[in-house]
């Protein structure tokens, strides 16, 4: 038996387009192996996650029509396993069907519905209750879906029903370390029941989520036999034979080399930006290029995602902008070959200050004047966006977003933030990684002390702890849910901890108004972490 792991990039809500993609892949697979088994990811017809599209009353009928089309048009000798939502008398299910010979020969309903982190499937689906095992070319194949393999019961039920090989359909999003987590978990399930496992994952960006693919198959002892590439579409074939005892076994094949940690993050950012821009129909992007590290890394991500011809960079200097910032921004644009323009915000700032002179009379300068500079830049970028239909990429990182070190309607104005879930120290690592591929970020951009350049001689560390300390406190508080006391007990300064925790708590209102951005940690702001804006409890 030959199995094709169809690692495809679906488009949420484009049921007809996703159906066309399935037909095209199956025709290609049939030309190679007419009686092969082609396995697609979870909810391939709708894309994942479809969220409240699942509540539309016309969805079940549309799914039924497209499933009939697949039955009519797929090569009849293929075995095609595909995910879709399916209505029954019990409610809506997250389902997988096996299509062969022009009909759906069996269906399976997902038993374990995730309801944590970015997942809320309990909102939409009712769980299945029965295992699904069918015979394909003499092999007894069990089918499960994604979360089913993260809990022991569905695999145990499939094994008890006679499964000799397990096929698991997935829409498993990326975060740092996720590939190793999956492989360890699947290895445990394989060893628990002596079953080879085929794990097929989708690839592509969907709003803040990125799916990294990295489909794989394991032997019954849990060792990886075959692995598809990460962050790209692939049709990865594997052979399933029999061992000396007559039990199914995966024949070892090609194992794609995994990316290193920082390289994997880079690929996730690039894929996330590319799919967000392309799937939303933007011809290109525009961003403010300040000469600092965050905008430099964002520019490089955008170019790798879209090509230099679709990226526009704008330097918006003011009286506090250092000469080296102007020089570095221009050099970055030249190295990456993007369209570049410099527009001073001095006249805009003076116009705003003139208009506000009566309102500000008798009041001393404060952070208002700093924020006004950022808002002048936001107005320019959004105006360019409106005129040229370009998506504004904001350039803030997770460290800034956590503590509110950003300006609403200023540097937060835009449509997508590639670095939204990247702590500052990771941004430095990303810069060094990208320079190892080809030089594009001047060394002094990486080594100079970071500054918003909104006041004379301003440095980020005038207002914040050093970034290595700040990032560690944020990770403990936001991603690990440790209390302030717990963090202090780890050896951090109590004043630093109390200050950072207070800033994180106070700035939820800003984060609610921030653009979406690529999720690369286990707990990002947004879908993962949802705190109230107005609340009294602090502790």
The Cα–Cα gap between 296 and 446 comes to: 9
Tokens standing for residue 441: 């970020």
At 129, is the pLDDT very low, low, confident or very high (cuts 50, 70, 90)? very high
Residues labelled catalytic: 42, 110, 146
Around Cβ 22, how many Cβ atoms within 10 Å?
A: 25
| pLDDT tens-digit series, residues 132-165 | 999 999 999 999 999 999 999 999 999 999 999 9
Instruction: Report the length, in residues, of the chain.
Output: 539
Q: What long-range pairs does 22-29 form, CB within 8 A, spacing at least 24?
A: 22/70, 22/74, 22/80, 22/82, 23/70, 23/73, 23/74, 25/235, 26/74, 26/75, 26/78, 26/80, 27/75, 28/235, 29/4, 29/78, 29/235
| pLDDT tens-digit series, residues 55-86 | 999 999 999 999 999 999 999 999 999 999 99
| Residue 335 scores a pLDDT above 70 | yes
| pLDDT at residue 244, rounded to an integer | 84
At 449, is the pLDDT very low, low, confident or very high (cuts 50, 70, 90)? confident
Q: Which pTM value belongs to this model?
A: 0.95
| Residue 454 scores a pLDDT above 70 | yes
Domains of the chain by start residue, with CATH? 2-257 (3.60.110.10), 263-457 (3.40.50.620)
At 539, is the pLDDT very low, low, confident or very high (cuts 50, 70, 90)? low
| Residue 203 scores a pLDDT above 80 | yes
The kind and range of the H/E element at 237 are strand 234-242
At 130, is the pLDDT very low, low, confident or very high (cuts 50, 70, 90)? very high
| pLDDT at residue 536, rounded to an integer | 81
């Amino acid at each position: 038996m030959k199995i094709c792991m169809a690692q495809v990039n679906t488009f949420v809500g484009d049921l007809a387009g996703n159906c066309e993609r399935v037909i095209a892949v199956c025709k290609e697979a049939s030309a190679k192996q007419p009686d092969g088994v082609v396995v697609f990811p979870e909810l391939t017809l709708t894309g994942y996650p479809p969220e409240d599209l699942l509540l539309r009353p016309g969805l079940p009928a549309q799914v039924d029509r497209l499933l009939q089309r697949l039955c009519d048009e797929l090569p009849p000798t293929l075995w095609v396993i595909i995910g879709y939502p399916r209505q029954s008398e019990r409610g809506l299910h997250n389902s997988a069907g096996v299509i062969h010979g022009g009909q759906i020969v069996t269906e399976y309903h997902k038993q374990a519905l995730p309801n944590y982190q970015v997942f809320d499937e309990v909102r939409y689906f009712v769980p299945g209750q029965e295992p699904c095992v069918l015979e394909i070319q003499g092999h007894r194949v069990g089918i499960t879906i994604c979360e089913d393999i993260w809990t022991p019961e569905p695999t145990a039920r499939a094994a008890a029903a006679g499964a000799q090989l397990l096929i698991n359909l997935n829409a498993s999003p990326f975060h740092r370390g996720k590939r190793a987590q999956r492989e360890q978990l699947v290895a445990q399930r394989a060893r628990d029941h002596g079953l080879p496992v085929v794990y097929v994952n989708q690839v592509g960006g969907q709003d803040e989520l990125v799916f990294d693919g990295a489909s794989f198959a394991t032997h019954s002892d849990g060792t990886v036999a075959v692995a598809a590439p990460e962050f790209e579409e692939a049709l990865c074939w594997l052979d399933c034979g029999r061992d000396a005892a007559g039990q199914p076994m995966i024949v070892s094949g090609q194992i794609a080399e995994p990316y290193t940690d920082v390289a994997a993050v880079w690929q996730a950012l690039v894929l996330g930006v590319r799919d967000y821009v392309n799937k939303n129909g933007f011809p290109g992007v525009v961003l403010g290029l300040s000469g600092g590290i965050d905008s430099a890394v964002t520019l490089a991500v955008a170019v790798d995602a879209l090509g230099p011809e679709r990226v526009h960079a704008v330097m918006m200097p003011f009286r506090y902008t250092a000469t080296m910032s102007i020089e570095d921004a221009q050099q970055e644009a030249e190295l990456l070959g993007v369209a570049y323009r410099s527009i001073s915000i001095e006249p805009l700032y003076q116009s705003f200050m003139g208009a506000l002179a009566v309102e500000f009379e008798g009041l001393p300068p404060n952070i208002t004047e700093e924020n006004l500079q950022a808002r002048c830049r936001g107005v320019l970028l959004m105006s360019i966006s409106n005129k040229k239909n370009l998506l504004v990429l904001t350039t803030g990182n997770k460290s800034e977003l956590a503590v509110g070190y950003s300006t609403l309607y200023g540097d937060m104005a835009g449509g997508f933030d590639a670095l939204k879930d990247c702590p500052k120290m990771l941004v430095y690592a990303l810069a060094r990684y990208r320079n190892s591929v080809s030089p594009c970020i001047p060394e002094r951009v990486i080594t100079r002390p970071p500054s918003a350049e909104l006041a004379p001689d301003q440095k980020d560390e005038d207002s914040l702890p050093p970034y290595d300390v700040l990032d560690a406190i944020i990770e403990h508080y936001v991603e690990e849910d440790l209390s302030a006391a717990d963090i202090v007990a780890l050896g951090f300064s109590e004043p630093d901890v109390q200050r950072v925790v207070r800033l994180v708590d106070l700035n939820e209102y800003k984060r609610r108004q921030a653009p979406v951005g690529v999720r690369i940690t286990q707990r990002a702001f947004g879908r993962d972490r949802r705190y109230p804006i107005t609340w009294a409890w602090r502790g």
